[in-house]
């Protein structure tokens, strides 16, 4: 399921990162790597704030749709 469907406070393992090669590279640079855990902190407006690799990252809902957990 896409990361946007994860509940607040839920921890999940990243199964796949989609999108164009540029988008994949950008998300990998932020720490969204297949097999790593991600935890949804909150959802504000069109953005989702997550903990990934012990860092807080805010990504757009559109980017979160490309991350499958």
pTM comes to 0.89
pLDDT band at 57 (very low <50, low <70, confident <90, very high): very high
Supply the mean pLDDT for the chain.
93
Domain containing 32: what range?
3-68
- Contact 69/1 with Cβ under 8 angstroms? yes
**End-to-end CA, the chain:** 6
pLDDT band at 23 (very low <50, low <70, confident <90, very high): very high
CATH number at residue 26: 2.30.30.90
- Does residue 21 have a pLDDT over 90? yes
């Amino acid at each position: 399921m896409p990361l946007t469907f994860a509940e607040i406070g839920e921890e999940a393992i990243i199964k796949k990162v989609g999108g164009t090669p540029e988008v994949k590279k950008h998300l990998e640079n932020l720490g969204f790597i297949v097999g790593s855990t991600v935890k949804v902190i909150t959802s504000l407006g069109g953005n989702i704030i997550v903990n990934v690799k012990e860092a807080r990252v805010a990504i757009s809902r559109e980017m979160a749709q490309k991350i499958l957990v």
